[in-house]
Structure 1
């Protein structure tokens, strides 16, 4: 490895048993296909872009196609599979545990197992579950449990409850919108204020959030009387972390102008973004001259260390 030593907070795992079973459980409603993946291919990709560690997450649709006990069992199987990868390559992989939402009871049990037994680095949540977004009151017990754990929560977009436009699968167009939608709801419904110990990472530079944050902050107090004022809303919106996956170069000016300097993290979106695409965006990010060298170092590496104590002790 070289000195760049990136920590990739947006890297996906494709467990073979999950990919094989997915078509019989509704497939991916967003219209995207599961790429070929193996731990070895992930490591080769990581070496090509000077990524020391990839924190692995199951992408949308996660385990949404399973029902009842089968959903809980598939989430558990995925989490134990990823924990095995971390045990084998502790400095190279991390584990964002999959949760069987909207099954709240099953999710609370899986949070306990993920942290107490598997020593997960955090959890991955989808932006919505069957059209129910993360700021909904139904998920309040989940946020309370995650707050007690001081959890790192990686929010990945899912297909919103609208039809996919022909020739425009969800990851191409709809995913940034859905990230923005759930993030704003989390702020306006008070979840962020009630559970300050949770550290939330938004995918893909937060969708449209950095670009539209002032619009939200200026307009919302005029239509709701249960939210902070403009500056209070901006402070809450800046409380998120943002990864850079698929977000260079045109998104970086908005992202770095809005986000706190210590809240921007490197992301590749491998393997759902093919290696050539991840490489193109990473090279554009590295070439972004508006940031000093120390800001690039922070994005690539040091901003992630406070979120992941295990990695901070292993990766310098």
Structure 2
């Protein structure tokens, strides 16, 4: 049994709502129109027939609702997404045994209300947010009630990278060129978010949080030396802040937070090297099988096929494969998925 913990689908209701708001044909929203398996349920089901021992947890993708509408509208839009995903799960539980509720931290009380409703009333596996909220980091004090609520709900929070072309790579420019904002930017964005949750002590204040990080945590596995021995010396490079005292006040070594406090997924775009690095960095009890379907060049089956092939080719013990393929996601969501 293989349960894909991070795949994307956009329900028809939210596409219609975005069109009414004039956001459905812009930027990343326009790109989605060229991937039928992300919005056409029949196309998605036909594609999944290729994988009989495989099922998907579905989550909304992009753009974030806070990019589409103001804070007064995001709760309503998230409700449309969640009702649509829940209906798909109820109709096709053998293919989609669970979904991730979408919330928007542009409206913190609304995010708590909608996340609670989706988990308690609709059976959501957890909630999804983004690595920033309109450019604001998610460790700010204004978001503390959300972390408190998620810890009490005892469900994971899927954290998706968010960065656009208008986030330039150099101060002298107005935009990121060559899709650097995505290729390197999303991987950096994820790692930066993880660091903010560590050093702002969100994870110390909420030890029960279960943050799921996409793409094996971006650049994190490749930088274990900088995160480890490098950040063991935090403060030596800074004169305007007492980071040495901050480090001393943390409950764990910085490296240990990155390794132990996050749940990374295996969606690394058919990269054997990336998978090996992630598997070497994180404990097997934290790693979740995921593919980022349907964003492969084939627009559906490619990353599913490649990710399974890579994991099955590395000589991992069956016990480890069972944890990655279904055991870990069942444990952290508190759900039993049956194929």
Structures share fold, TM-score greater than 0.5: yes
The alpha-carbon distance between structure 1 residues 84 and 246, as it changes in their structure 2 partners (threshold 3 A), is same
Distance in 2 between the 1:302 and 1:47 partners?
Answer: 23
Given that 1:249 and 1:284 are in contact with CA atoms closer than 8 Å, whether structure 2 keeps it comes out as: no
Q: Deviations over 1:214-261 (max 9, x none)?
A: 312333342212135796212211121111112531112221111011
Q: Deviations over 1:188-227 (max 9, x none)?
A: 1111121121211110111011211331233334221213
SS at structure 2 position matched to 1:159: coil
Q: Pick from 167, 179, 187: which aligns with 1:162?
A: 167
Number of equivalenced pairs: 310
Match for residue 17 of structure 1? Answer: 13
| Structure of larger gyration radius | 2
**Deviates most, 79-88 or 166-175:** 166-175
Q: In the TM superposition, what is the alpha-carbon distance from 1:100 to its structure 2 partner?
A: 2.3
SS at structure 2 position matched to 1:227: helix
Match for residue 324 of structure 2? Answer: 299
Given that 2:139 and 2:200 are in contact with CA atoms closer than 8 Å, whether structure 1 keeps it comes out as: yes
The alpha-carbon distance between structure 1 residues 29 and 159, as it changes in their structure 2 partners (threshold 3 A), is farther
The alpha-carbon distance between structure 1 residues 32 and 263, as it changes in their structure 2 partners (threshold 3 A), is farther
Q: Pick from 42, 45, 51: which aligns with 2:44?
A: 42
Distance in 2 between the 1:219 and 1:187 partners?
Answer: 15
Match for residue 65 of structure 2? Answer: 63
The alpha-carbon distance between structure 1 residues 283 and 84, as it changes in their structure 2 partners (threshold 3 A), is closer
The alpha-carbon distance between structure 1 residues 135 and 113, as it changes in their structure 2 partners (threshold 3 A), is same
TM-score computed with the length of structure 1 as normaliser: 0.88
Distance in 2 between the 1:222 and 1:230 partners?
Answer: 15
Q: In the TM superposition, what is the alpha-carbon distance from 1:290 to its structure 2 partner?
A: 4.8
SS at structure 1 position matched to 2:229: helix
Given that 2:104 and 2:129 are in contact with CA atoms closer than 8 Å, whether structure 1 keeps it comes out as: no
Q: Could you list the runs of 4 or more consecutive aligned residues of structure 1 that deviate by over 6 angstroms after TM superposition?
A: none
Given that 2:60 and 2:102 are in contact with CA atoms closer than 8 Å, whether structure 1 keeps it comes out as: yes
Does 2:249 align with 1:251?
Answer: no
Structure 2: which 5+ runs fail to align?
Answer: 169-174, 236-242
Given that 1:97 and 1:124 are in contact with CA atoms closer than 8 Å, whether structure 2 keeps it comes out as: yes
Given that 2:103 and 2:115 are in contact with CA atoms closer than 8 Å, whether structure 1 keeps it comes out as: yes
Q: In the TM superposition, what is the alpha-carbon distance from 1:51 to its structure 2 partner?
A: 5.2
Match for residue 172 of structure 2? Answer: none
SS at structure 2 position matched to 1:69: coil
Matches within 5 A, 1:215-294: 215-220=226-231, 221-223=233-235, 224=243, 225-228=245-248, 232-238=253-259, 239-247=261-269, 248-273=271-296, 274-279=299-304, 281-294=306-319
Match for residue 183 of structure 2? Answer: 172
Q: In the TM superposition, what is the alpha-carbon distance from 1:14 to its structure 2 partner?
A: 1.3
Given that 1:153 and 1:200 are in contact with CA atoms closer than 8 Å, whether structure 2 keeps it comes out as: yes
Distance in 2 between the 1:210 and 1:28 partners?
Answer: 33
Match for residue 119 of structure 1? Answer: 123
How large is the Cα RMSD of the aligned pairs?
2.5
Matches within 5 A, 1:117-156: 117-156=121-160
**Deviates most, 12-21 or 100-109:** 12-21
